[in-house]
A = this chain, B = another copy of it.
Amino acid sequence: MGIRELAKVLKLSVSTVSRALNDSDEVSAETRERVRAAALEHGYAPSKSAASLRRGRLDIVGLMLPVRREEETYTLGIFMKLADGLQSVLSRHGMDLVMYSSESWDDEFARLRRIVDRRHVDGVILAGTRKHDERLDYVASRHFPFVALGRSESGGEHAWVDLDFEAAVTEGVERLVAQGHRRIALAIPGGDAMQAHIYLRAWKKAMKKHGLPVPEGFVQRNELSERGGYLATEALLKLDVPPDALMFQSDCMAIGAYRKLHETGRAPGRDLAISGGVLAGEVSEYLAPRLSGFTLDAYGLGQRLAQALLAQFPDIGDAYRAAREPVLWPLTLRERDDDTVTSEAVQR
């Protein structure tokens, strides 16, 4: 139903109905209510604002949250801060952020197709990239504005922002080496997650630089969850010569290591040095000993993602030209006061 038919039903002029729908003070509150009720009843969908129509935009941007494992709630905290940062930039242009969450990769891909084909949003941020990522190929083939959070070999040349895992893992290895550790192991997520590929490559490079061996079984792949970290630690403790330090890419896996160590009468830090990787939640603060790792400015990252997307919109893109270049977002080492991870402690 159009506005004319709605006006007819209500026996009001089109301009009165329009004013009422736009919440104008020129129309009485009573009439506004009556118009709104009728609009809903008759399924009248108000058109977008005139400005928005002129630009051919909806003024809505989508963020597709990464598909989660059941236990993987930690990264959500980062994503919510990131969403706040995104929204803070979008708000300057009267745009709203909407988020989508999906139960599985296939589910996410189906949703993405629907969002793009029905044009639910003007552009989209895609997280949790894979090395081969059909989502990126899809949006690229549709010439649909998007920014990838994470690198990928798919999608041709496109806008992306990623965490600087290379710098973090290099610093992490250096720190453990400086503390006297030589038998350093790594536990990363399985699957085709691009970040796991990048992390592993950089870790191997850093290990080589320090002349450290990587014995059989020292690289554990498991699910990105507490359970994954628990199982990876279990496997490492069973080795004939277990590691004296264990690096993670994510704090949720490190939490699983803490539990496995506690269960076997070992103490994190004293019996096995733990390096927590990206600290997504504040849980690391509440573990004993507190977990060291890397933090990031998620709000700023969200702002940067917004800029990289807005840079692709014809009318406002120029203002964000500087954000067109891909960027590696810094990870900052956070060492804890009561971190007991020292070589002496471990070698006791």
Could you give, for residues 59-91 of chain A, a 1 whenever the CB lies within 8 Å of some chain B CB and a 0 otherwise?
010100100100101101100100110011000
Question: Least Cβ distance of A246 to chain B in Å?
Answer: 16
Choose among B46, B84, B87 the residue that contacts A119 (Cβ–Cβ < 8 A): B46
Q: Which residues of the partner chain B approach A144 to less than 8 Å between Cβ atoms?
A: 40
- Copies per assembly: 2
Choose among B37, B55, B71, B96 the residue that contacts A43 (Cβ–Cβ < 8 A): B55
- Inter-chain contact A226/B282, CB cutoff 8 Å: yes
Q: Which residues of the partner chain B approach A318 to less than 8 Å between Cβ atoms?
A: none
- Inter-chain contact A60/B101, CB cutoff 8 Å: no
**Known interface pairs A115-B96, A281-B73. Does A143 touch B68 (Cβ–Cβ under 8 Å)?**
no
Q: Which residues of the partner chain B approach A255 to less than 8 Å between Cβ atoms?
A: 283, 286
At the interface, yes or no: A264 with Cβ under 8 Å from chain B? no
**Known interface pairs A1-B56, A43-B56, A96-B120. Does A259 touch B282 (Cβ–Cβ under 8 Å)?**
no
For A84, A258, A280, which residue has the most chain B Cβ atoms within 10 angstroms? A84
Question: Least Cβ distance of A299 to chain B in Å?
Answer: 10
- Inter-chain contact B83/A77, CB cutoff 8 Å: no
Measured in the bound complex, the distance between the Cα atoms of B179 and A268 in whole Å is: 32
Nearest-CB residue, chain B, relative to A48: B118
Q: Which residues of the partner chain B approach A42 to less than 8 Å between Cβ atoms?
A: 56
Nearest-CB residue, chain B, relative to A60: B120
At the interface, yes or no: A134 with Cβ under 8 Å from chain B? no
Measured in the bound complex, the distance between the Cα atoms of B282 and A258 in whole Å is: 14
- Inter-chain contact B96/A99, CB cutoff 8 Å: no
- Inter-chain contact B143/A73, CB cutoff 8 Å: no
- Inter-chain contact B100/A84, CB cutoff 8 Å: no
- Inter-chain contact A45/B56, CB cutoff 8 Å: yes
At the interface, yes or no: A344 with Cβ under 8 Å from chain B? no
At the interface, yes or no: A23 with Cβ under 8 Å from chain B? yes
Please give me the 4 A-B residue pairs with the lowest Cβ-Cβ distance, nearest first: A43-B56, A73-B77, A98-B98, A76-B76
